[in-house]
């Protein structure tokens, strides 16, 4: 049986997690959340870019995964690459950093008694070298997470519509409208998993109606709302 654990990271707004997967387990579905992850798996470090749709992660080659999930907008500054260049991709860290540096980081996690802690320490080092996250990006995420429109978010953050879109592509991988859709989807997904009726979820999480909710789940999750409800 697969086992998944997570906890809040010492890195602000990040989460560290681990997953063990038995042999012969099928792909793991990852739903879009606006985040990026740094993931270790059996001798490899990879970066999971932001997703705009459900992503099927193959598990046949590995049984242990450790990751740190960066809050939307924070990973590109730490890794030195615009999020839009990693949209819907999983990329080996050697493509983004010198191979010698990457090898040293992989060895550090490979040989650590606490791999979660080792990977978290790497992320904290990146953050110390790059400095704090841009507060404007945090403000964008917080505004859209609260249900504000793109126009309201632009006004709240003092950005023009063009600048908001440009900064969003670099920081999140897509424009603010798509990010708002994904954050709304995540609010709805959390409610779906508690068993709340779909009609009530649609009314309380910003959807026009239940049909709108269903369409968004088909588009972003690749399945129906019912398929994700507890049984």
Tens of pLDDT along the chain (231 residues)? 678 999 999 999 999 999 988 766 777 899 999 999 999 998 899 999 999 999 988 766 668 899 999 999 999 999 999 999 999 999 999 999 899 999 999 999 999 999 999 999 999 999 999 988 899 999 999 999 999 999 999 999 999 999 999 999 999 999 999 999 999 999 999 999 999 999 999 999 999 999 999 999 999 999 999 999 998
DSSP 140-186: HHHHHHTT--HHHHHHHHT--HHHHHHHHHHHHSS-HHHHHHHHHHH
Q: Domains in the chain, please, with CATH?
A: 3-130 (2.60.120), 135-228 (1.10.10.60)
Contact 48, 90 (CB under 8 A): yes
Q: What is the pLDDT of residue 62?
A: 61
Tell the residue number behind the tokens 């490979």, with chain if given.
Answer: 110
Q: What is the pLDDT of residue 63?
A: 82
pTM of the model: 0.92
Q: What is the pLDDT of residue 1?
A: 64
pLDDT in tens, 6-16: 999 999 999 99
Q: What is the pLDDT of residue 132?
A: 83
């Amino acid at each position: 049986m697969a086992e998944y654990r997570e906890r809040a990271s010492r890195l602000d707004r990040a989460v560290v997690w681990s997953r063990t997967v038995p042999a012969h387990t099928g792909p793991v579905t990852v739903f879009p959340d606006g985040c990026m992850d740094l993931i270790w798996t059996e001798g490899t470090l990879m970066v999971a870019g932001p997703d705009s749709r459900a992503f099927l992660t193959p598990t046949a080659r590995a049984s242990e995964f450790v990751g740190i999930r960066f809050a939307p907008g924070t990973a590109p500054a730490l890794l030195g690459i615009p999020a839009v260049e990693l949209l819907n991709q999983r990329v080996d860290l050697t493509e983004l950093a010198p191979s010698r540096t990457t090898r040293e980081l992989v060895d550090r996690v490979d040989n650590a008694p606490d791999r979660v802690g080792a990977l978290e320490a790497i992320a904290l080092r990146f953050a110390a070298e790059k400095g704090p996250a841009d507060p404007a990006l945090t403000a964008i995420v917080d505004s859209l997470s609260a249900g504000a429109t793109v126009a309201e978010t632009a006004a709240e953050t003092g950005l023009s519509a063009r600048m908001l879109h440009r900064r969003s592509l670099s920081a999140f991988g897509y424009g603010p409208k798509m990010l708002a859709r994904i954050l709304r989807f995540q609010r709805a997904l959390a409610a779906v998993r508690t068993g709340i009726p779909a009609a009530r979820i649609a009314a309380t999480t910003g959807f026009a109606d239940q049909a709108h909710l269903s369409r968004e789940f088909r588009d972003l999750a690749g399945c129906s709302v019912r398929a994700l409800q507890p049984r």
